[in-house]
Chains A and B, each alone.
Chain A
Amino acid sequence: QMQLQESGPGLVKPSETLSLICNVSGGSITGYYWTWIRQPAGKGLEWIGRIYDNGVTMYNPSLNSRVTMSVDTSKNHFSLRLNSVTAADTAVYYCARERWLEEFDYWGQGTLVTVSS
């Protein structure tokens, strides 16, 4: 059974960079799109972007200038960097696998990232 696990700092200072890694176990990272989705407390879901195993990315236009995703197939993980964060970036961040144009079928448990000084 495939499992995804987010890891990274739970607290980031304003204007700094949020960095998260999603470790994929129970299956290969190759052949799929890998996605980051976030959810502020009490609010809805927001798609941040996706990366394919060859490193091709697509980002949410509203976040495009601040987001960078990368993938390391040798370590079976992918990562998210979001720079110049503000309090508005405080959210639970989920990683997920996308079956292309179908569904996000495997999800991590989510990790809370708080932006605060």
Chain B
Amino acid sequence: QTVVTQEPSFSVSPGGTVTLTCGLSSGSLSTTYYPSWYQQTPGQAPRTLIYNTKIRSSGVPDRFSGSIVGNKAALTITGAQAEDESDYYCVLYMGSGGWVFGGGTKVTVL
């Protein structure tokens, strides 16, 4: 089964920019995988940040953006704030295999 890969952790300074990526253990990722990104803080259900590669979900600040970079999906936080310190998950649609989540990236803002 194809594994969805994410960086385990990232650190960013307040006001800085960080780009998280989401890839496949084999093959190239494209928009046909409908990549989406979720943010989760401890004890809470995840919430959508980005879906269909680059569409920002309702109420999500515009400092969050999604794209395809090379053969990976990417989530960029531009002007990181303290409240962005969270776990971030990408999820891809594998057709008959349904949705597959990446392992998550823990972002620290310091």
Contacts and interface: CB of A to CB of B under 8 A. Distances in A.
A21 interface: no
B21 to A, nearest CB: 16
Nearest to A35: B99
A8 to B, nearest CB: 17
Contacts of A77: none
A84 interface: no
Contacts of B34: 101-102
Nearest to A47: B99
Given A58-B98, A62-B1, A109-B45, A101 B93 contact: yes
A46 B40 CA distance: 14
A74 B101 CA distance: 32
Contact of B45 (A35, A58, A61, A108): A108
Nearest to A99: B51
Given A44-B101, A61-B97, A62-B1, A102 B45 contact: no
A46 B98 contact: no
Contacts of A105: 48, 57
B36 A103 contact: yes
Nearest to B94: A61
Nearest to B93: A101
A63 to B, nearest CB: 10
A1 B33 CA distance: 29
Interface string B40-73: 1000011110011001010000000000000000
Contact of B51 (A96, A103, A109): A103
Contacts of B96: 58
Interface of A: 35, 44-47, 49-50, 58-62, 94, 96, 99, 101-105, 107-110
Interface of B: 1, 34, 36, 38, 40, 45-48, 51-52, 55, 57, 89, 91, 93, 96-104
